[in-house]
Amino acid sequence: MTTADPVVFAVFNEIAIIDQLAQARLAKVLPDGLLVPHFTLLNHLVRVGDGRSPVDIARAFQITKGAVTNTLQRLEARGLVRLAPDPDDGRAKRVFLTPAGRAARERCIAAVADLFADIHGPLGDGPFAAALPFLRDLRQRLDKARD
């Protein structure tokens, strides 16, 4: 990156690097043999709510339905999600977190808190709280532009 790069590029470049570094750290500490895609799917269901279809989840993550199905099968085999028939479409499924899935997500959140303590501690909540409105707005704009 050079000083001639547009500021919007610089921001997205930093976000991409932060994401890569954070995911690498996260992968090392996730409990119960969970992988980053497992955690992100569990976290997504907590954030947006149960009852999503695999197609909706694939759209949200911008990945194939096959990739989501594979992750869901692994999570279902571990009792972390439950797949149920869609009441409106007998061919489709809906995904629900189980109590064990919610508990696994909570263990992951605890691991993340410990994982980033070395960064959060010296900075405190202030900079993180200050960054949230911009990051949320940016995410919402990207979500809207995707659809």
* Mean pLDDT, the chain, integer: 92
pLDDT digits 0-9 by tens, 22-45: 999 999 999 989 999 999 999 999
- One DSSP character per residue, 72-112 reads HHHHHHTTSEEEEEETTEEEEEEEEE-HHHHHHHHHHHHHH
DSSP letter at 50?
Answer: S
Q: What is the pTM of this model?
A: 0.85
pLDDT at 146 over 90: no
